[in-house]
Amino acid sequence: MGDITIPASDMHHLLADPARGSGTSYQQAFADLAVSHRGRPVAEVVPLLRAAADAALLGFTGVDLVEQAQAISSGARYELRVRVAGA
């Protein structure tokens, strides 16, 4: 399980927000990779997750990304605990 703290104003970077229209959230990128890369090596998935996190301006650690890649590769559920900072 991972943990991340993000400002309330940046929630759209993490979660899909239909009201904002364009742009891909990290949630959508993760879901897409979970479908397309199940069973693929973790080492192949990590750089894709890193690119998605960087594009979404999210500061996941290397350990977080490896855990997420392991979940994608194995088809396991991944739980992310999100703390929202600010109002």
Question: Three-class SS of residue 18?
Answer: helix
pLDDT of 39: 96
**Phi and psi angles of residue 81, each rounded to the nearest 5 degrees, phi first:** -95, 125
> Could you tell me the residue ranges of all domains in the chain?
2-15+24-85
* Model pLDDT for residues 15-57, shown as the tens digit of each residue: 877 666 556 789 999 999 999 999 999 999 999 999 999 998 8
